[in-house]
């Protein structure tokens, strides 16, 4: 089984992660086939809680090539499978101002099921982003110097 991982690369740069959760995704047959082929994106996706259930919005899964008339909508809302206690805990924390529920990683587990890592996150300020870029540049310079040494 291949290790498929679809990342939201901007998430770490844009947000401070407070809590992370792993949730299953309720998918249709053509959706899981497209995900296994790597034809999905979680770059602009986010999660919402409606009527005690968590849904991921704006997650793109390309239509399956051999799907025919049974194909899915590429950007439909998809239900996330979490425990009731986790949902209430997340809902309580989301009431705090400035927090969002974002998608950070989609992967296929060892049993072949699609999973989504979601994070309760707080948006970073501009100076935090600058600090992160500076640290990244410093690490790159140190690695270059150690390589040449």
pLDDT tens digits for range 48-81: 999 989 999 999 888 887 777 778 878 889 999 9
How many CB atoms are located within 10 Å of the residue 4 CB?
14
> What are the tokens at 95?
């009431």
Report yes or no: 30 and 71 within 8 Å, Cβ to Cβ: yes
Residue listed under structure tokens 């090539």: 65
What is the phi/psi pair of residue 39, to 5°?
-100, 55
pLDDT class of 95 with cuts at 50, 70, 90: confident
Report yes or no: 120 and 18 within 8 Å, Cβ to Cβ: yes
Asked if residue 97 is part of any domain, the answer here is: yes
Is residue 31 over pLDDT 90? no
> What are the tokens at 1?
């089984």
Asked if residue 13 is part of any domain, the answer here is: yes
**Residue range(s) defining the domain that contains residue 110:** 5-124
Instruction: Please count the structural domains in the chain.
Output: 1
CATH of the domain at 75: 2.40.280.10
pLDDT class of 5 with cuts at 50, 70, 90: confident
Degrees (nearest 5) of the Cα angle 57, 5, 55?
Answer: 20
pLDDT class of 1 with cuts at 50, 70, 90: very low
The mean pLDDT of the chain is 87
> What are the tokens at 109?
């587990």
Over pLDDT 70: what percentage of the chain? 99
Is residue 139 over pLDDT 60? yes
């Amino acid at each position: 089984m291949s290790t498929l991982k679809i990342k939201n690369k901007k998430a770490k740069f844009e947000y401070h992660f407070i809590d992370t959760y792993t949730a299953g995704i309720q998918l249709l047959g053509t959706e899981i086939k497209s995900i296994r082929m790597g034809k999905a994106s979680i770059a602009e996706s986010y999660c919402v809680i409606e009527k005690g259930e968590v849904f991921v919005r704006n997650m793109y899964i390309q239509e399956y090539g051999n799907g025919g008339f049974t194909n899915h909508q590429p950007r439909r809302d998809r239900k996330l499978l979490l425990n009731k206690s986790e949902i209430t805990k997340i809902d309580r924390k989301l009431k705090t101002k400035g927090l969002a529920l974002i998608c950070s990683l989609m992967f296929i587990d060892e049993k072949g099921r699609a999973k989504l890592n979601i994070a309760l996150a707080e948006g970073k300020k501009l100076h935090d982003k600058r600090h992160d870029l500076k640290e990244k540049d410093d690490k790159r310079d140190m690695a270059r110097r150690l390589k040449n040494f």
